[in-house]
Homo-oligomer: A and B are copies of this chain.
Amino acid sequence: MLGEMLENVRSKSPLVHNITNYVTVNDCANIVLACGASPIMADDPDEAGEITTICDALNINIGTLNSRTIPSMLLAGKKAVTLGHPVVLDPVGAGASSLRTKTALTLLEEVKPDVVRCNMSELKTLATGSATTKGVDADIADRVTTETLDSAVAFVKEFAAKTQTVVAVTGAIDIVTDGTAAYCIKNGNPMMSSITGTGCQLSAMTAAYIAANKDDMLKAAAAAVCAMGVCGEIAFEKLSAADGNSTYRNYIIDAVYRLDGETLERWAKYEIR
């Protein structure tokens, strides 16, 4: 069933508008292409609304946000919602500065994204208005483990229900929920955290998945999260002893390029709570 989500991306090839940071933007573009969709990046207020009009989905990522791009995020976000285009919000570093926290909360309220893709520290910031964070990485205190899974699922479900969004929180165990059902996903590899932007890449890919599967965004987001984790595993197996995080980054995108629905089904490790 998750495999079908992936195949829909390949057959429909949605065009995804990304307003995203300049750190990981190239990887985001390449992973969108790898999964079978097409990316376009545009972040100036003078064209953001028009560009989103010709697209099938919008991915808003607030990493390296600035005074020129924040208005574009709001403008394009509202336009996309008006047009019925699915929207993903990645609140990178919410909690690390008041500008990021405030911008993320404003986007959440005024755009009402379909999917929020983030780490647990960022979600806590969105839920409570403040949290501990280690820059753009989740605080160690916020790690989801087998021991803390029950309470974590309850917390994420509550947030998803309250905001009426699908929430995809990634970490050692990923939780994807619409407030009712929660996919608890155990794919992935710890080495993924030694690459910049695996989260950003997942958010961009999630936009492609929900664009191609608008009638089941929960399952589409879960499929994207599983696909990223599975590709992290496939890529890790391919590494030799001298390879490091740069080669690993390339291999993950390569694996996304090669992934098909059947392989995704076979490798996916999740339970629904």
CB distance A41 to B23 under 8 Å?
yes
- Chain B residues with Cβ below 8 Å from A127 are none
Distance in angstroms between the alpha carbons of A39 and B54 in the assembled complex: 33
A254-B250 in contact given A39-B196, A41-B21, A97-B47 (Cβ < 8 Å): no
Asked if A142 lies at the interface with its beta carbon under 8 angstroms from chain B, I say: no
Identical chains in the assembly: 3
CB proximity of A54 to chain B, nearest CB, Å:
6
Residues from chain B with Cβ under 8 Å of A244 in the complex = 34, 253-258
In the assembled complex, which residues on chain B have CB atoms less than 8 Å from the CB atom of A34?
Answer: 194, 244-246
CB distance from A171 to the nearest CB of B (A): 16
Min CB gap A254→B, angstroms: 3
Residues of B within 8 A of A99 (CB): 44, 46-47, 50
Task: Please indicate the chain B residues that have their CB under 8 angstroms from the CB of A257 in the complex.
Answer: 194, 244-246
Q: Which residues in A have some Cβ–Cβ distance to B below 8 Å? A: 15, 21-27, 29-30, 33-34, 38-47, 50-51, 54-55, 63-68, 93, 96-100, 133-137, 194-197, 238, 242-247, 249-258
